[in-house]
């Protein structure tokens, strides 16, 4: 009976088998996804870890572009880091004047931000940061008199940028530290390399400043995690989905000096000379400009949320304000998913 | 002409049997669900559709819809309002699809193809209703998977119906009421 | 025995399978390895709870109307419901990104979302 059955219905059975196989194949295929070719690298630059991932290029060409990117970041460091004696900043600190051709935008922006933040953002804070040295082995708590003395030289109004000549001038004894904008600025330089080379997409992290560019794996957004101040390196309190932009964070947890049961972080208040006292644990800023995202994150941290939001609004940037009590407040234009115990601020 | 003839009463009985059969298959279907954990929630092997397809191809529009509604009412009584809505949305759409396709009497499509189409439409209809009920579009993620299962269950149902009809067509009662797909005139 | 299957049938089936393949490819998120998975519980289309499973130290019982949901480190599941079908409860434990269970009569849904493999971390 069964043989007859099979013989008569061979066509059906064959057909059913075909269909089943086709269906199964598709179920299997559904585990595939679109992936772009890519190349990646990491390096130690600007005193931090730089990691790059570029899409649409691979092999030798990819390697070459990665090298170019790292070179541009290194060049950037040579140009703006006060620790390098040939940099514009070092020259400025030494002689009170410097030719900053090539980075006019940087100086113009820091001067403007000094005014827009009422002095809270001030790169002449270098006089104080080099006193505290938080984040280095020489970190210490300066005496009150040392701080008072240093405060005399913290005055951003004395820092002037002459657009025509491309010259920057500072008063005698002032010390400029571009640490608050350096990494973001480096991201902008890296972006230029990407554009020149026609790279499809990229995600480059210069320390905590992350540049997102172009598209990858068929998507035009990137997922950037916001580190949890209290967690370890990979613990994130939220993940934001962004398209092209630079994301930077300033917080009180990255460089800290612990002494006598107190914690001293590295963002010094330009008015008091001591680390900024705030309920904020960190501020993350998203902007199309790396320079701005880095600078604004520091500025907002010092200003606090209310004034910070106004500042962000003025510069067309988005921000996330993270508080010590694990509450978070963020501007409307952000696609964010909170994680763990962090929740939105309600008041 | 009298309103009720012997034929009428016989037909009622006949339809009653078909209706009961649908329900029994429906119960069986639900009973074997735990043995099929790989199926997305709400997807069923579609055994009760055998009767629906049978009715669509050998009887007519009214009879088929009657069976569908009958099954759905049973679902309403036993499994509640939302299950009813899902059953009737899937059932009506798929039986109408089957009826239309059968009407069209296309040379290249056999009962199996019609059965597949009906099964897929049935699943899509149910899925849309569930999305409507839960107010989300998330469940639509199951669409491709359900379509594939629709093909599989459609083939199985179609094969069974194709085998059943020739066998049943020998039975007196059936000859009284209906024909066989492919031979029946509009 | 008449031929049961016709050309048209095959064409139709291939067509349907092709569409479902297409749908799968379009909508597919890259299945990344995930460290953090969190469960979304929706009621009537609105997200009622978002629970980060990796941060749960003990089991959490949630009562939403007539559904009882249990969320633990290993996964989330409907443990009780007053619905006649009990499809929700039968779905078992959800733990992988993409896993879903719904109690249609109660308009309650659980979905597991993997936090995407992050492209970078800002700090």
| Interface A:C, Cβ pairs < 8 A | 106
From B34, B109, B130, residue closest to C12, measured CB to CB: B109
Paired sense of beta strands A256-259 and C120-122, if any? unpaired
Q: Alpha-carbon torsion B26, B30, B33, B35, what sign?
A: negative
A29/C55 touch (CB, cutoff 8 Å), yes or no: no
Mean pLDDT, chain C, rounded, equals: 78
Q: Judge whether C56 is closer than 8 Å to chain B, CB to CB.
A: no
A19/B159 touch (CB, cutoff 8 Å), yes or no: no
Q: Which of A254, A244, A135, A255 is CA-nearest to residue A190?
A: A244
In the predicted structure, residue A31 carries a pLDDT above the cut 50 = no
Q: Which long-range contacts (CB under 8 A, 24 or more apart) does B61-65 make?
A: B61/B99, B63/B15, B63/B18, B64/B95, B64/B98, B64/B99, B65/B92, B65/B95
pTM: 0.58
Task: Find which of A19, A30, A250 to mutate to test the C interface (most C CBs within 10 Å of its CB).
Answer: A30
What pLDDT score was predicted for residue B47? Answer: 87
* A220 CA: distance to closest CA in chain B (Å): 21
pLDDT band at C1 (very low <50, low <70, confident <90, very high): very low
- Note the pLDDT tens digit of each residue in A202-213: 999 999 999 999
In this prediction, the residues of chain B whose per-residue pLDDT falls under 50 are 182-186
From B144, B145, B151, residue closest to A19, measured CB to CB: B151
What pLDDT score was predicted for residue A74? Answer: 96
Paired sense of beta strands C46-52 and A327-330, if any? unpaired
What pLDDT score was predicted for residue C34? Answer: 41
Q: Which of A334, A317, A282, A55 is CA-nearest to residue C119?
A: A55
Q: Which of A318, A313, A304, A298 is CA-nearest to residue A123?
A: A298
Compute φ and ψ for B13, nearest 5 degrees: -65, -45
- Note the pLDDT tens digit of each residue in A290-332: 999 999 999 999 999 999 999 999 999 999 999 999 999 999 9
Residues paired with C46 in a beta bridge: C43
- Note the pLDDT tens digit of each residue in A35-63: 778 888 888 899 888 989 999 988 899 99
- Cα C112 from Cα B141, distance rounded (Å): 13
In the predicted structure, residue C91 carries a pLDDT above the cut 90 = no
Quick one: tokens of B185? 């005139």
Give C 77-116 residues with CB within 8 A of chain B.
Answer: 83-85, 87-88, 90-92, 98, 100-102, 104-105, 107-109, 111
What pLDDT score was predicted for residue B106? Answer: 79
What pLDDT score was predicted for residue A275? Answer: 95
* C26 CA: distance to closest CA in chain A (Å): 10
* A20 CA: distance to closest CA in chain B (Å): 7
What pLDDT score was predicted for residue C33? Answer: 39
ipTM of the complex: 0.86
Q: Judge whether C26 is closer than 8 Å to chain A, CB to CB.
A: no
In the predicted structure, residue A2 carries a pLDDT above the cut 60 = no
Q: Judge whether C2 is closer than 8 Å to chain A, CB to CB.
A: no
Neighbours of chain A (3+ CB pairs under 8 A): B, C
Paired sense of beta strands C120-122 and A222-227, if any? parallel
Task: Find which of B112, B116, B155, B163 to mutate to test the A interface (most A CBs within 10 Å of its CB).
Answer: B155
Cβ-proximal residues to A92 (8 Å cutoff; 6+ apart), any chain: A98, A100, A168, A170, A176
Contact indicator for C79, C59 with CB cutoff of 8 Å: no
Task: Name the strand (E) or helix (H) holding C40.
Answer: strand C37-43
Quick one: tokens of B153? 């269950």
* C84 CA: distance to closest CA in chain A (Å): 31
Task: Name the strand (E) or helix (H) holding A120.
Answer: none
In the predicted structure, residue A7 carries a pLDDT above the cut 90 = no
- Cα A170 from Cα A178, distance rounded (Å): 14
DSSP, res C87:
H
- Cα B71 from Cα B56, distance rounded (Å): 15
Which of A182-196, A252-266, A305-319, C5-19 shows the lowest per-residue confidence on average (mean pLDDT)? C5-19
B81 CB neighbours in chain C (<8 A) are 105
C121/A19 touch (CB, cutoff 8 Å), yes or no: no
In the predicted structure, residue C54 carries a pLDDT above the cut 70 = no
- Cα B128 from Cα B35, distance rounded (Å): 25
- Note the pLDDT tens digit of each residue in A71-128: 999 999 999 999 999 999 999 999 999 999 999 999 999 999 999 999 999 999 999 9
What pLDDT score was predicted for residue C115? Answer: 55
> What residue of A is the nearest CA neighbor of B162?
A12
Across chain B, which distance is largest between two alpha carbons, in Å? Answer: 56
């Amino acid at each position: 009976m069964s043989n007859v059955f099979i013989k008569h219905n061979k066509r059906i059975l064959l057909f059913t088998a075909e269909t089943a196989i086709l269906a199964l194949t598709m179920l299997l295929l559904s585990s595939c996804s679109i992936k772009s070719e890519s190349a990646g690298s990491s390096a130690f630059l600007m005193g931090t870890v730089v990691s790059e991932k570029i899409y649409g290029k691979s092999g030798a060409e990819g390697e070459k572009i990665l090298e170019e990117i790292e070179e541009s970041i290194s060049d950037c460091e040579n140009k703006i880091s006060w620790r390098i004696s040939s940099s514009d900043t070092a020259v400025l600190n030494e002689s009170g004047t410097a030719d900053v051709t090539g980075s006019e935008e940087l100086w113009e922006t820091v001067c403007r931000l000094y005014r827009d933040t009422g002095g809270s953002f001030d790169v002449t804070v270098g006089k104080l940061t080099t006193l505290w040295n938080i984040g280095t082995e020489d970190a210490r708590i300066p005496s009150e008199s040392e701080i008072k003395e240093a405060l005399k030289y913290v005055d951003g109004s004395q820092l002037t940028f002459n657009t025509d000549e491309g010259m920057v001038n500072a008063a005698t004894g002032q010390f400029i530290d571009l640490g608050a904008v350096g990494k973001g600025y480096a991201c902008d330089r890296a972006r230029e390399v990407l554009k020149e080379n026609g790279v499809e997409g990229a995600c480059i992290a210069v320390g905590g400043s992350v540049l997102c560019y172009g598209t990858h794996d068929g998507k035009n957004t990137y997922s950037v995690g916001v580190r949890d101040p209290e967690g370890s390196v990979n613990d994130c309190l939220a993940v934001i989905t962004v398209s092209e932009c630079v994301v930077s964070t300033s917080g009180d947890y990255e460089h800290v000096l612990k002494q006598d049961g107190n914690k001293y972080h590295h963002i010094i208040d330009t008015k008091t000379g001591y680390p900024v006292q705030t309920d904020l644990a960190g501020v993350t800023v998203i902007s199309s400009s790396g320079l701005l995202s880095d600078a604004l994150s520091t500025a907002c941290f010092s200003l606090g949320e209310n004034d910070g939001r106004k500042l962000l609004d003025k510069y067309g940037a988005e921000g996330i304000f993270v508080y010590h009590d694990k509450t978070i407040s963020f501007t409307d234009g952000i696609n964010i998913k909170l994680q763990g115990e962090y929740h939105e601020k309600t008041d | 002409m009298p309103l009720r003839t012997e034929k009428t009463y016989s037909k009622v009985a006949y339809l009653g049997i078909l209706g009961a059969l649908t329900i029994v298959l429906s119960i069986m279907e639900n009973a074997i669900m735990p043995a099929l954990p790989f199926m997305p929630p709400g997807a069923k092997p579609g055994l009760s559709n055998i009767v629906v397809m049978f009715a669509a191809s050998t009887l007519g529009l009214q009879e088929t819809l009657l069976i569908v509604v009958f099954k759905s009412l049973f679902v309403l009584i036993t499994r509640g309002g939302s299950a009813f809505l899902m059953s009737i949305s899937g059932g009506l759409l798929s039986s109408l699809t089957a009826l239309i396709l059968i009407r069209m009497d296309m040379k290249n499509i056999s009962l199996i193809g019609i059965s597949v189409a009906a099964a897929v439409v049935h699943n899509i209809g149910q899925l849309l209703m569930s999305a409507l009920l839960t107010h989300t579009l998330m469940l639509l993620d199951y669409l491709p998977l359900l379509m594939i299962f629709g093909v599989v269950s459609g083939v199985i149902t179609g094969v069974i119906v194709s085998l059943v009809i020739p066998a049943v067509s020998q039975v007196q009662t059936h000859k009284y009421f209906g024909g066989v797909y492919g031979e029946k005139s509009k | 025995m008449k031929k049961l299957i016709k050309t048209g049938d095959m064409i139709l089936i291939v067509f349907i399978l092709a569409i479902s393949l297409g749908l799968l490819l379009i909508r597919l998120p890259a299945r990344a390895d995930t460290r953090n998975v969190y469960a979304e519980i929706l009621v009537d289309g609105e997200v009622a709870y978002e629970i980060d499973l990796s941060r749960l130290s003990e089991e959490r019982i949630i009562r939403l109307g007539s559904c009882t949901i249990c969320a633990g480190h290993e996964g989330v599941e409907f443990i009780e419901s007053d619905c006649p079908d009990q499809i929700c409860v039968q779905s078992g434990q959800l733990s992988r990104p993409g896993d879903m269970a719904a109690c249609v009569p109660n308009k309650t849904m659980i979905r597991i979302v993997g936090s995407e493999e992050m492209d970078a971390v800002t700090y």
